[in-house]
Amino acid sequence: MFNPSPCPDDLCKQLDLNCCDILIVNTNEAMSLYNQLSNISPLNYVEEIEKKISEILKLLSSVSIIVLTLGSDGAMACVRTLKENNFEFIKVPSIQVNVIDTTGAGDTFLGYFIATLSKENTYDGWKDIPSIRKALQRASVAGGLACERLGAMTSIPSEKEVDQRLIQYQSSNM
């Protein structure tokens, strides 16, 4: 699992990203990776993100999942399926928050995503779609809650806080 944050313009020259199983990126990092891997002029169209993410997965054949944080638009994952060059997209919305400070929100998202996916891991490994969806939902809620407080470490919500807000989140998004 790798989170190239911040993503330098020469990351793909520095590291072999095919050694990763899961990449977790925000929209800027995703576009930087796409531009580095495809050798084309920079693109800034977020509406094209699904296409770009699937292209990154095609170019990084060993990566199984790319998770994309979308800030107030939630998060999504592109998961490689068993069929060659076939991908499943999982999208989750964000929660409504009163943003005070976004410091630590991405790290909080990452921590909750990894922890939840690790707890949910099954025989099928990382490609268990319900587990990935649950990890995205918990991470999205945790990252949102982190924005309601000042600071980095002090903004990380407890599991109890996340669980309480997750109940509201799930009932409003079903």
What the chain holds in terms of domains, given with CATH numbers, is 11-172 (3.40.1190.20)
Most confident option among 37-41, 48-52, 94-98, 137-141: 137-141
Tell me which of 3-17, 66-80, 106-120, 150-164 is least confident.
3-17
- Report the 10 Å Cβ neighbour count for 61: 11
Q: Which DSSP category does 46 fall into?
A: G
107 is catalytic: yes
Region 65-74: what's the mean pLDDT?
A: 87
- In sequence order, what are the beta bridge partners of 103? none
What is the pLDDT at residue 47?
A: 52
Least-confidence region, from 8-12, 49-53, 62-66, 145-149 = 8-12
Interior/surface letters 118-134, b for 16+ CB within 10 angstroms, e for the rest: eebeeeeebbbeebbbb
The alpha carbon torsion through 125, 73, 5, 65 (nearest 10 deg) reads 20
Please state the pTM of the whole predicted model. 0.75
Q: Read off the pLDDT of each residue in 48-56 and give the average, rounded to a whole number.
A: 80
Q: Is the pLDDT assigned to residue 112 strictly greater than 90?
A: yes
- Alpha carbon distance 1, 49 (integer Å): 20
107, 124, 128, 163: the catalytic one is 107
